[in-house]
Structure formats: structure tokens, C-alpha cells
A = this chain, B = another copy of it.
Amino acid sequence: MSGENDLRPGELALELPAAYDAGVYFIGRIRTPFKSRNDCPKSPAQSDAIGRVELDPPYAAGLADLALYSHVFLLYWMDRARRDLIQQVPAYLDHPRGTFALRSPVRPNPIALAAVELIGIEATTLSVRKIDCIDGTPLIDIKPYFASIDSFPHARRP
């Protein structure tokens, strides 16, 4: 095997369980200018891209009142990522870091989380600012952002 699925020195794979514990529905798709993982910005902080969140029509009623919020969380499913790496060596580090200390798409449950500015809603399409995923990524949830419980401006990181 070769290509992006190779392990780097220091990376660690594990054997995943034989069965899933629960199931998710894809409820829409996220449209972005990025056609492959290499096209994607390294982080939403480096992206001013406008994206469109296309919710599947049966879920339309779930958007009622969402436009009252300035920011939302998107949860999406990184369906091209392997799930079995438990330590990884990102390009910017010289040692392995635990998967749960990284925002890498590679994780046991490949769910990504992005807090984005909500620009507008038309029918079942949301326009959002600062989104960095691959075009066509499956959407699994939208949540309102509450500064009172979600914002920690002084949170420390290494």
C-alpha cells in the first residue's frame, strides 16, 4: 500500500471494534471550493471561503428560528479518513501526539466540528463563512452557538 494511508514514523494504529454501537444519518452536504484534502486550508482560521450547507429537504422544518443566531456549529462526517490511528505526527510536530489532542480528520469516529459565521439561509441552504472541508462532505448536525457556554477566549494550547 502507498499514498496518504501510509504510517509516518511514530504513528500508531489500533484494531477497531468488530461492530458499531450506533448509527448516523447523513442529513445534507457541505459545498466548498475544495476538491481534495490537499486543497483544504490547514485550519478554518486560514480560510475566508464561503461555503454552502445544503440540508436535505425532509429536515427543512428544523431550521425554524436558526437565523436568529450569528454563529452555528456544523458537525460533519469525514468519510474519506481512516479511523484506526491513535497517535499521529502532524507536519508541524516532530513527535507523535494523541489523536484526541489533535483536530485531525483521522479518529475512531471521524466527526468534525466547525464553528462558523452564519451569513444567511435560503430555503434549505445556509451560507457560512470560514469552512475548510472537502466539497461534498456529509453533514450530520447543525447546532446554535451560545457564547455563554461555548466561548473560552483564554483557553490555553501548547
**Residues of chain A having any CB pair with chain B under 8 Å:** 12, 14-17, 20-27, 43-45, 55, 58-59, 61-66, 68-73, 75, 77, 79, 86-87, 96-103, 107-109, 111, 113-115, 117, 130, 138, 140-158
Which chain B residues border A62 with CB–CB below 8 Å? 86-87, 98-101, 107
A143 and B106 CA atoms in complex are apart in Å by 12
In the complex, the count of this chain's copies comes to 2
- 21 A-B contacts (beta carbon < 8 Å): A20-B23, A20-B24, A21-B26, A21-B77, A22-B26, A24-B24, A24-B109, A43-B149, A65-B97, A66-B98, A66-B100, A68-B158, A69-B101, A69-B158, A70-B152, A71-B156, A100-B142, A100-B143, A111-B111, A144-B157, A151-B155
Closest 8 interchain pairs by CB?
A20-B23, A64-B98, A100-B142, A68-B158, A70-B156, A66-B101, A71-B155, A21-B26
Which chain B residues border A156 with CB–CB below 8 Å? 68-71
Question: Which residue of chain B is the closest to A107 with respect to CB atoms?
Answer: B141
Secondary structure at chain A's binding surface: helix, strand, loop or mixed?
A: mixed
* Candidates B45, B55, B97, B108; contact of A149 at CB < 8 Å: B45
Which chain B residues border A96 with CB–CB below 8 Å? 64
Which chain B residues border A151 with CB–CB below 8 Å? 150-153, 155
A101 to chain B, nearest CB (A): 4
Contact B154 A12 (CB under 8 A): no
